[in-house]
Amino acid sequence: MELEMIMPAYYDSNVYVINKKIIIDTGMTADHVLPNLEKIAPIENIELIILTHTHYDHSGCADEIMNRSGAKLAIHEADASFLEDDDLSGALNFGSRTTCPPANILYQGGEKIPIGPNENGEEEYLEVIHTPGHTVGCICLYEKNSKTLISGDTVFSEGGIGRTDFKISAPEKMTASVRKLTELDVENLCPGHGRPTIGNANRSIELSEMMSSRMNP
């Protein structure tokens, strides 16, 4: 798997580009995200946008990328209805209105998204892991060959976890979601905000579980 990251501007989420054709989260600052995306791949080559959750700082540029590429939009079904809601998407918190269209693809968790063959010709996949807590429809994406977890706002590097005080949060489910991630073999953690952890990311996730257990018993 080839993974490249667009560093955020202002309060944008991190944006991850997989094999120059799949985007994980889009950020919200188009005049920053789009030029940096074009340095990685022509926008018209983007086939799929996957949102780890509905929040505007992760989804705000989705419409512009879709319009310029024809890419499909995917999100967990539990978050899908919030994409067009200015309040529940968090757009109003950033002084904006959401322009995100409805998603084309709805996940339930457990799906394996093909991303193309690796250098040995073996097909690689992103596994969708439903991790409710930060929102009811949060997902993480795991690629087993590289042992890479793209975690959205469920867990962050160095033991952080996402907030669970939003209207669409599920704090009672957060610890179980993080505990689910401790069962994976993760070397590289790519969170929705902050720097990735490269190497021995399992330890970071264990610390996240400890924090969540204290905050969301």
pLDDT digits 0-9 by tens, 90-126: 999 999 999 999 999 999 999 999 999 988 888 999 9
Nearest CA to 85 out of 99, 103, 69, 66 is that of 99
Is the pTM for the entire model greater than 0.85? yes
Task: Say if residue 24's pLDDT is above 80.
Answer: yes
Q: Where are the domains of the chain?
A: 3-215
**Which amino acid appears at position 179 of this protein?**
R
Q: pLDDT category, 200, cuts 50, 70, 90?
A: very high
CATH of 3-215, one of 1.10.287.3510, 3.30.70.1290, 3.60.15.10, 3.40.50.300: 3.60.15.10
Using alpha carbons only, what angle is made at residue 105 by residues 83 and 180, rounded to the nearest 5 degrees? 85
Phi/psi of residue 55, nearest 5 degrees: -55, 145
Q: How far is CA 71 from the centre of its chain?
A: 16
pLDDT per position as a tens digit, 142-161: 999 999 999 999 999 999 99
Q: pLDDT category, 216, cuts 50, 70, 90?
A: confident
- DSSP class per residue in 125-166: EEEEEE--SSSTT-EEEEETTTTEEEEETTB-GGG-B----S
Residue 160's Cβ-side half-sphere holds a number of Cα atoms within 13 Å equal to 17
Rounded average pLDDT over 69-98: 96
Nearest CA to 141 out of 83, 192, 104 is that of 192
pLDDT at site 122: 85
